Structure 1
Amino acid sequence: MNELLKLLSRYEIESNTKDLIPVLTHNSFSEKNNSRYVFLGQFAYRGIVATWVFENIAGTGTQLQHYLGNLLSQKRLESYYEKWKISKVRIASTAQIDQQKHIFVYAVLGYIVENASEEQLQEFVFNQFIASADHLLPSVYKHKNEWDKLVFLCKQEFNQKPKLITTISDDKTNKIEVFLNDEVIGLASSISFKYAKKKAITAALKHITIEIEKKLTKSPVYIENEKIRKENLEVEKLQVKQVRQEKHLLRNKTHQEKMAVRRQLIEKEAQELDRKRKEVKQKLKEKASKKGVNTIYREYTAEEIAAMSVSKRRNLQDKGIISKGIN
């Protein structure tokens, strides 16, 4: 229900939940149902779309008939059932609607016909059904004909057909002017008629698209969509920022864990070095404690050193017990 309310508010069509309940109620399980809305959607809305196609799309009657049939085909209507999220509305616990999705879409269209203004209807028809159906256009439609594009845009937006006027000066220069409501919207001059015409039409197209853009930016629908787009961008930015922050925190945590392991290793190595240093110191103490009268680590007098053999003296000097300078 919320999605339908949002859809209608986008085009400023007045609506409320109470009014929409019959629209989503099938006649197979309630007397207050959507059958009258379905009728209005099948015939009145179809007529509105047919009028729009007649006024804006090139092609024979048969081609337009096929185009209209494709625009409002059952398969395409069923896609709107999903697009407008009608499937999320609990219509009835016993409802079997797999083969009747298009019926509910017709009911919604009938409700729109009943409650929308002419301008709102035209905007809804174009945005929801025409703009997304270029692939369904009749084969005679000229996608790359600039003049046809200009005529289409002028008729659609200003309800007027542009006029192209050519004047040739004395020096045989072709001056091409494109008029819309007595206003020049495109102008070009050249010796070549073909070049001047193409350039003038291109200038007119540029002028018209700028005017359409100005008109569009003031539209409540555009303003609302732009607001939604900016809000979505802000949400995306916040999500990206959050992902970056999470990655940053994860990197910091990983680095901290790595440094903690490294500090433990350094501390362990330091403890091992300290243990070895103390062990060496202890051995030296033990070695010093062994010095005495009955050991070679005692102190020798000058007479004892002079009396000992050369090999013994040299042995004691190598062990650091007596100084090497003593002979």
Structure 2
Amino acid sequence: MIGIENLLNRYKIPYDKNNIIKVFTHNSFSDTNNNSRYVFYGQFAIKGKIADWIFNNIAGTGTQLQHFIGNVTSQKRLETYFDKWKISKVRIAENSKLENQKHIFVYAVLGYIFENATKNQIEKFIFNELIKTADHLLPQNYKHKNRWDQFIFLSKLHLLCKPKLTSTVDENKINHVTIFVNNEAYATHNSISYKYAKKKCVNDAIKKLLIFIEDKLNKDATHIANQENKKQEKELAIIQAKAEKQAKHLERTEKHQDKMTERRRIAKIEAELQDKKRKQAKQAVKEKTSKKGKDTIYRTYTSEEIAAMSASKRRNLQDKGIIPKGI
């Protein structure tokens, strides 16, 4: 059940662990506390939810869309979600084969989601989990080879009809190209060149349709909410980036301060050692000087006294540093 909890958390769908256990309890395991109601809801609601989404977002004939729903909700495809969503620890009678009941548990999960999720959460779930993963099954009735084909696709999707293009030539050999939507002129252009007139007419029609789509989106509550959410997410991302940058700056500052503190500590210790050595040397000189006197060997000797000394005495005094060497 860990996989399902992650799935629900991904779309921020609230859940209760006791109900999750019920979702994964087959009616063969328990006659009363089982997932049969969730299975019923998921089995019959999924097609309606998908139909609502693809009707508003995908072009194609009714037959093509019906085939798409059939492919997406087929038992074989539903069984793949059992493994994809990592459904485990199901409760089913031993005499029932789980391999044949995987789609039942998937229906139960869908029923639970449809019961507890909001409209926006359901739309995101359907798109990401059911539609996006089955894009290869979408109706392939359009080709984006040129601008006219693009306009046909957009017109079917947003104006719910296929546009028509007509062309007439007047007595001055001027081509009049007009695009009709719902039997009304949608865009027109005139030129001596048919190719140029068609190109400009199609471009004008696409521009007009894009303005219509933009106005429609700007009035759509879901789109407005999504834009506001994106704006808030962007602002939050900027705030987080600034906070991270500030945190890194503070971290660098603290490291630098610690480094400088350590340097000052080491420098202080070295200075104290140098001062100690200096004081010791000064004290040694002081002690050496204080020992000098008339009745001690630590006195000043004249050159005559040094010359009269024996070699051993002179060497002894030189070793003690009382008289200079080399005399």
TM-score over 0.5 for the alignment? yes
Cα gap change, 1:5/1:278 in structure 2, threshold over 3 Å: closer, same or farther? Answer: closer
Q: CA deviation at 1:266?
A: 0.4
Measured in 2, the distance between the counterparts of 1:67 and 1:82 equals 22
Q: Please say if 1:263 is aligned against 2:264.
A: yes
Cα gap change, 1:190/1:297 in structure 2, threshold over 3 Å: closer, same or farther? Answer: farther
Alignment of 1:177-196 (within 5 A): 177-181=178-182, 185-196=186-197
Q: Please say if 1:247 is aligned against 2:251.
A: no
AA matched with 2:262: V
> What SS does the aligned partner of 1:142 have?
coil
AA matched with 2:211: I
- Match of 1:209? 210
AA matched with 2:268: E
Measured in 2, the distance between the counterparts of 1:162 and 1:218 equals 25
Measured in 2, the distance between the counterparts of 1:140 and 1:125 equals 26
TM-score, normalised to structure 2, is 0.59
Q: Please say if 1:40 is aligned against 2:44.
A: yes
Asked whether the equivalents of residues 60 and 141 of structure 2 are also in contact (C-alpha less than 8 Å), the reply is no
Deviations 1:36-63 (A, max 9, x none): 4356348x649958x959x94269x7x7
- Match of 1:13? none
Q: Please say if 1:73 is aligned against 2:74.
A: yes
Deviations 1:122-170 (A, max 9, x none): x899957657644324555313343333233223323343332334355
Alignment of 1:1-327 (within 5 A): 24=23, 27-28=27-28, 29-30=30-31, 33-34=36-37, 36-37=40-41, 40-41=44-45, 45=48, 48=51, 56-57=59-60, 67-74=68-75, 76-77=77-78, 100-103=101-104, 106=107, 133-137=134-138, 141-169=142-170, 171-181=172-182, 185-293=186-294
Aligned residue pairs, count: 285
> What SS does the aligned partner of 1:154 have?
helix
AA matched with 2:145: K
> What SS does the aligned partner of 2:144 have?
coil
Q: CA deviation at 1:103?
A: 3.4
TM-score, normalised to structure 1, is 0.59
Unaligned runs of 5+ in 1: 10-15, 115-119, 313-318, 322-327
Q: CA deviation at 1:4?
A: 7.7
Measured in 1, the distance between the counterparts of 2:68 and 2:31 equals 35
Measured in 1, the distance between the counterparts of 2:200 and 2:254 equals 64
Asked whether the equivalents of residues 38 and 103 of structure 1 are also in contact (C-alpha less than 8 Å), the reply is no
**More off after superposition, 96-105 vs 142-151:** 96-105
Deviations 1:215-266 (A, max 9, x none): 1232232233334434444554454445434433432333233222211210
Deviations 1:270-289 (A, max 9, x none): 11221122123223323432
**Identity over aligned pairs, percent:** 43
Measured in 1, the distance between the counterparts of 2:181 and 2:241 equals 48
Cα gap change, 1:244/1:76 in structure 2, threshold over 3 Å: closer, same or farther? Answer: farther
- Match of 1:315? none
Measured in 2, the distance between the counterparts of 1:147 and 1:110 equals 42
RMSD: 5.4
- Runs of 4+ with deviation above 6 angstroms: 1-7, 79-83, 95-98, 107-114, 123-126, 295-300
Asked whether the equivalents of residues 59 and 153 of structure 2 are also in contact (C-alpha less than 8 Å), the reply is yes
Unaligned runs of 5+ in 2: 308-320
Measured in 2, the distance between the counterparts of 1:251 and 1:79 equals 50
Q: CA deviation at 1:65?
A: 7.1
Cα gap change, 1:238/1:104 in structure 2, threshold over 3 Å: closer, same or farther? Answer: farther
